[in-house]
Amino acid sequence: MADAMKIRAKLQGDMADVKVLMFHPMETGLRKDPVTGDVIPLHFIQRVVATHNGKTVMDAQWSQAVSKNPFINFHIRGAKPGDKVAVNWEDNKGEKASIETTLS
Amino acid sequence: MRTQLQSKNMGTPLATKESPPKKPTRRNFLRTLVFASAYTATFVAAWLRPIQLLAAEWNKVAFDAKVLADAVKSIGGTSAIESDQILLKAPEIAENGAIVPVEITSKIPGTQTIYIVADKNPQPLVAIFDIAAGLEPFIATRIKMGESSKVRVLVKAAGKFYVATQEVKVTIGGCGG
């Protein structure tokens, strides 16, 4: 998926301010299809891992109660230009996506 | 067992009757064998499980919990101490329960994990963030809330739990539809 997520990282001194937007329905399994009336099955991102130069800095587990098209913002310490920041996610159906950016 | 039986069936000869000792027949031997192998299998499974868990599996038990107390208990935070060192920013009134911005900063040294809980959600535990070395104990995200309730943030630091809460009034719930 080319547009499964967006990442923006800004260096502020030696801290990287990272903002990530993921495009995902985050279905709660409680919603019904307005046309057919069928329950829309659970479909949500369960796992989000952020790395800094390949080293895990954040390992998150999510429920279906994170908003649709999830947004996260976090700060990495000890960052410098040229460093790579990557974010990976995996949902309850085993779908995966990842994105990487280089700090400048 | 024996004493229970006796007290329940007072006066009946049921408890006093001994079953005849099992003869070493082929059937008995096979039965023992089946039980023994089932027993062993259980132990092996129990022994293997922690190894799989090392890969930090998604905490199904905690996320499936339907009430606040169970969710908090399953993450081990029942005895969390109220702390003003957790800065929790959430709106007092959220017009749309589907998008409630939450911002957390923990000033507690050694913050390892940040948990976000919405007290009255169908499944109260919303998210778990493990903070590794190199990450500031700060997380901003957006969550869904089914109805007005407290947003509860638990922080695990040096093995201890701390908690901060904020009431959020939700005008339109964000779980069903």
Q: What's the distance, CA B38 to chain centroid?
A: 28
Q: Which residue has the higher pLDDT, B172 or B171?
A: B171
Token couple for B159:
């093995």
Name the β-bridge partners of A87: A50, A99
Residue B39 confidence class, pLDDT cut points 50, 70, 90 = low
Residue ranges of chain B assigned to CATH 2.60.40.2470: 60-172
Phi-psi region of B11 (alpha: psi -120 to 50; beta: other; left: phi over 0): left
Cβ contacts (< 8 Å) between A61 and chain B: which residues? 58-59, 63, 127-128
Q: Which of B126, B129, B139 sits opposite A65 (nearest CB)?
A: B126
Rounded mean pLDDT of B66-95?
A: 96
Chain B residue with minimal CA distance to A58? B131
Distance CA B11, CA A98 (A): 73
- Residue A80, min C-alpha distance to chain B (Å): 12
- pTM for this one? 0.78
Residue with tokens 């040229």: A82
Identify the pLDDT of residue B89: 97
Identify the pLDDT of residue B172: 79
Q: Is B86 on the interface with A (CB under 8 A)?
A: no
Chain B residue with minimal CA distance to A14? B134
Least confident of A18-27, A53-62, B10-19, B153-162: B10-19
Query: Which amino acid, one-letter code, is at B78?
Result: T
Q: Does ipTM top 0.90? A: yes
Distance CA A88, CA A17 (A): 17
Identify the pLDDT of residue B44: 56
Cβ contacts (< 8 Å) between A28 and chain B: which residues? 122, 144, 175-176
Contact A62 B139 (CB under 8 A): no
Rounded mean pLDDT of A24-40?
A: 93
Q: Which residue has the higher pLDDT, A9 or B48?
A: A9
Q: Is B126 on the interface with A (CB under 8 A)?
A: yes
Token couple for B63:
């996320």
Percent residues over pLDDT 70 in chain B? 71
Rounded mean pLDDT of B124-145?
A: 97
Rounded mean pLDDT of A51-64?
A: 96
The CA-based angle B128-B133-B136, given to 5 degrees, is 70
Domain B60-172 has CATH 1.20.1050.40: no
Rounded mean pLDDT of A62-88?
A: 97
Q: Is B176 on the interface with A (CB under 8 A)?
A: yes
Domains of chain A listed by start with CATH number? 5-102 (2.60.40.10)
DSSP chain B: -HHHHHHHTTT-TTTTPPPPPPP--HHHHHHHHHHHHHHHHHHHHHHHHHHHHTTT---HHHHH--SHHHHHHHHT-TTPEE-TTEEEE--SEEEETT-EEEEEEE-STTEEEEEEEETTSSS-EEEEEEE-TTEEEEEEEEE--SSSEEEEEEEEETTEEEEEEEEEEEEE-SS--
